[in-house]
Structure 1
Amino acid sequence: MDYQYPMDLDWKTEEVIDAIKFYEAIEKAYEDKILKEDLLTAYRRFKEIVPGKADEKRYDEEFEEVSGYSSYRAVKKAKETDDGSWVSMK
């Protein structure tokens, strides 16, 4: 990884750590696979940190710009996947 995750300087340390876990879950979906539940759990926590749709979209665009990975598409695919299944964006 040769990029920085999009962050807000006002986030608490715990929020930064949880946001990083969400971005890592997205990376895992693109680079390998991740359990649907694990990705959606990370997403739900991310939504506690970033509750607004506009902010979520801005962070997704920033993340996709630096990584090439869309959190929106990965989460959408996870929501459409059967329970107990793996999510892979390969």
Structure 2
Amino acid sequence: MEYQYPIDYTWSTAEIVDVIHFFECIEKAYEKGIDRDELLAAYRRFKEIVPGKAEEKTIFNQFEEASGYASYQAVREIRHSRAGDRIKVSAQKKKLR
């Protein structure tokens, strides 16, 4: 990994760890696939830390700019899947840097 995760330093250590875990789940969704329920749980925790849509969008954009992974695409796949499904975001949906 050659990039930094978008972090708000007003978050607690536990919140930072949970946000990093969420972005690691996004990476898994692109690289090898991830269980839908694992990604959903990580996203729900992320939304507890970042409840506002505007702030979420800003953080997603920062992460995409740094990594090339579009968090929105992975989260959208949650809505189009069912419990127990495996989510694999296609490389075509990854933004090329």
CA shift at 1:78, angstroms? Answer: 1.6
Larger RCO (CA within 8 A; separation ≥ 6)? 1
Q: Which amino acid aligns with 1:26?
A: I
Identity of aligned residues (%): 53
User: Cα RMSD over matched residues?
Assistant: 0.6
Q: TM-score, normalised by structure 1?
A: 0.97
Corresponding position of 2:18: 18
Alignment of 1:7-86 (within 5 A): 7-86=7-86
Query: Moved runs in structure 1, 4+ residues, more than 2 A?
Result: none
3-state SS of paired residue (1:81): coil
Cα drift, residue 87 of structure 1: 0.2
Instruction: Look up the SS of the partner of 1:72 in the other structure.
Output: helix
Correspondence 1:4 to 2:9: no
In the alignment, the residues of structure 2 paired with residue 18 and residue 83 of structure 1 have an alpha-carbon distance, to the nearest angstrom, of 22
| Whole-angstrom distance in 2 between the partners of 1:83 and 1:20 | 23
Deviation at 1:49, TM superposition (A): 0.4
**Residue equivalent to 1:89:** 89
Q: Could you tell me how far apart the structure 1 residues matched to 2:70 and 2:56 are?
A: 12
- TM-score calculated relative to the size of structure 2: 0.90
1:24 CA displacement: 0.2
Stretch of structure 1 that moved more, 18-27 or 80-89: 80-89
1:20, CA displacement in angstroms? 0.5
Query: How far, CA to CA, are the matches of 1:73 and 1:56 in structure 2?
Result: 13
**Unpaired runs of 5+ in structure 2?**
91-97
